[in-house]
Amino acid sequence: MYDQIIVTGCSHSCGMEMNDHLLPTARTLKEREVNIAKWGRHNLKLLHKDIHVIKRLADRAWEDKEREKSWPALLEHRLGIPVVNLANIGASLGKTLLNYSGYLGSSWQGQRTAVIHQIPEYGRMYMRLSKEHGRINIVPGEIENIGLNKKYFSKQIESIKQKYQDMIMNDDYIKTHRTKVLGRLSKLSKDRGIAEFYVFNRPGDLHSSTVILDGLTEFRKNYTTGTFSHTNDPRFNSDFCDLIISYL
């Protein structure tokens, strides 16, 4: 029925931790970052002396390697048609909207298309840090770990923390933001005749669209997870693709 599938989402659609058995055991995300940098230096033959450049190149290569083990990659193999994976690690609903809108405006060619929106946790926000660094994904409980020098950016970090806390404590804001963004995602698809499907962590709000799964959090409990709570069981990819294909 389709010539192309588009996928949006967060780390659950990026294959995060699927390859972590290739790295030394890490207890923290910081240790994991160091392990990935070491993996990059050794496997990619990175000779650059700047550790920040090495880290950036290694991160990019590792994320590409993870995507090869993600369920969208398996779905592409199963269906035999292109599956464009727009998901990002740590993505928020706002970031999902920007990724999807940007792709439709620059790369989509009007072919018969379906989109699968794997909706991130609603508590995540895509917020402006500074003019220089633009917007960043804010993940609850990980605001301190945004990959920037905490001392140099102390004022910006403190400011964005306060803004985030004000937002997250306002139930009306979260609900309004969620409804608005989900509505805009749906309109983008309907205006272009793109079939839309949704995967929610918990019961969602779009009853007029096809909901493939209304409880990804519960579904994932059937499979093993890594140190940082991402599914690392290949059976998850296979079973999830079976579920998706039954709806397509």
Which residues, 6+ apart, have CB-to-CB distance to 12 below 8 Å? 87, 118, 216, 220, 230, 231
Nearest Cα neighbor of 54 from 69, 39, 76 is 39
pLDDT for 206 beyond 60:
yes
The two tokens of residue 16 are: 């995060």
41 confidence band (pLDDT: 50, 70, 90): confident
Q: Is residue 42 a part of any domain in this protein?
A: no
Domain CATH for 224: 3.40.50.1110
pLDDT at 231: 96
Residue 242's domain comprises 4-18+69-124+193-247
E-strand stretches of the chain: 4-8, 83-85, 113-118, 125-130, 134-138, 195-199, 210-213
Q: What is the pLDDT of residues 155-201, one digit of tens each?
A: 766 666 767 676 766 667 778 888 899 999 999 999 999 999 999 99
Angle at the Cα of 100 from the Cα atoms of 129 and 103, rounded to 5 degrees: 105
pLDDT, the chain, mean: 87
**218 close to 3: Cβ distance less than 8 angstroms:** no
**Number of domains composing the chain:** 1
Q: Is residue 13 a part of any domain in this protein?
A: yes
Q: Is residue 34 a part of any domain in this protein?
A: no
Q: Is residue 181 a part of any domain in this protein?
A: no
Q: What is the pLDDT of residues 122-151, one digit of tens each?
A: 777 776 666 666 676 776 655 555 555 566
pLDDT at 88: 93
Q: Is residue 103 a part of any domain in this protein?
A: yes
Question: CA 16, CA 228: separation in Å to the nearest integer?
Answer: 9
What is the tally of helices (H) and strands (E) in the chain? 8, 7
Question: CA 168, CA 247: separation in Å to the nearest integer?
Answer: 34
Kindly state the percentage of the chain with pLDDT values over 70: 78
**91 close to 185: Cβ distance less than 8 angstroms:** no
Q: What is the pLDDT of residues 52-88, one digit of tens each?
A: 788 889 999 999 999 999 999 999 999 999 999 999 9
Q: Is 112 helix (H, G, I), strand (E, B) or coil?
A: coil
